[in-house]
Amino acid sequence: MAEQRKKVTLASLFKKVAEGKPITWLTCYDYPTAYFQDQAGIDMILVGDSLGMTMLGYDSTLPVTMDDMVRHTAAVRRGAPTAWVIGDMPYMSYQPSVETAVRNAGRFMAETGCDAIKLEGGAEMADRIHAIVNCGIPACGHLGLTPQSASALGGFRLQGKSALQAKKIIDDAKALEEAGAYAILLELVPDRVCKLITERAKGCIIMSLGSGLDAHGQLLIYHDAFGLYPRFKPRMAKVFGNAGKVIQEGLAAYVKEVTEKTFPQPENYFGMPDEEYEELLNLLK
């Protein structure tokens, strides 16, 4: 068996930041993919509520429940024992009250073995972050395009284009850092805004999803990066390997070989010794 790397911890993540080494982060929702990501040395894994779209086929993340998240996060933890695994708080698992937020963050930690949680929103969610962190649970913020509020934000589009909107995102980042967030994800904000926030962060890891190079690291949605989401590929994603194409070609070959009876071959099944077969035929007489 391959030698396992050391467990990624908050200390090792901050060490990377101090050394100027970018942090790698991908979403993941299942055991085998988690295994591959852990083996590849991915620093952080986000079990995102994007699983509502990538795995469950919904049009948005809103129908995803805590039960969905707990099941997938526990599977990812089993596949990725050494990565820093973050459970994404689904819609309405933290918005209603501080207590709801703390209880669901605690459920994530207790039932899945994840290392941290993430929730969406700015200064208005700082009290949730503060309370969760006070319970000893590392919490990551999420600003810019926050998919759970896509309707209010006018769709899945760039956020913080105007100076006023950008100032609000910068103020929100400060509020989340002051509340104790160990990290903040900036999704789809202009690169200059991301740079300003990263430069201003004192003890907080700033991560970029479609927000440029100047953060402490990068996140991509796994399904976008590996051609596994058939509906569309967002501009911010790059396809690093087209697994979707490989799977489709394999499926076509399977259908062809079964149809033409070229699969299975003798090496794919088991025979029976002649004497046993003769006896069986006698027994059936």
Token pair recorded at residue 260: 């033409």
Contacts of residue 155, defined as CB under 8 A and 6 or more positions apart, other chains included, come to none
Q: Single out the segment in contact with ligand KIV by CB under 6 A; choices: 42-50, 75-83, 106-114, 175-183.
A: 42-50
Q: Per CB under 6 A, does 172 bind ligand KIV?
A: no
Q: Per CB under 6 A, does 49 bind ligand KIV?
A: yes
Integer Cα distance of 61 and 69 in angstroms: 11
Residues with active-site annotation: 187
By C-beta, is 36 or 254 nearer to ligand KIV?
A: 36
What single letter denotes the amino acid at residue 127?
A: D
Q: Per CB under 6 A, does 46 bind ligand KIV?
A: yes
- Closest contact distance (angstroms) between CB of 27 and ligand KIV is 4
- Closest contact distance (angstroms) between CB of 272 and ligand KIV is 51
Q: Per CB under 6 A, does 185 bind ligand KIV?
A: yes
Please pick, from the candidates 8, 43, 48, 125, the single residue that binds ligand KIV as defined by CB under 6 A.
48
Q: How far is CA 232 from CA 88, 212, 225, in A?
A: 22, 21, 12
Q: Per CB under 6 A, does 42 bind ligand KIV?
A: no
Integer Cα distance of 244 and 241 in angstroms: 9
Site string for ligand KIV, 209-238 (x = CB under 6 A): x-----------x-----------------
By C-beta, is 46 or 132 nearer to ligand KIV?
A: 46
Interface residues toward ligand KIV, by CB under 6 A:
27, 46, 48-50, 61, 88, 142, 147, 185, 187, 209, 221
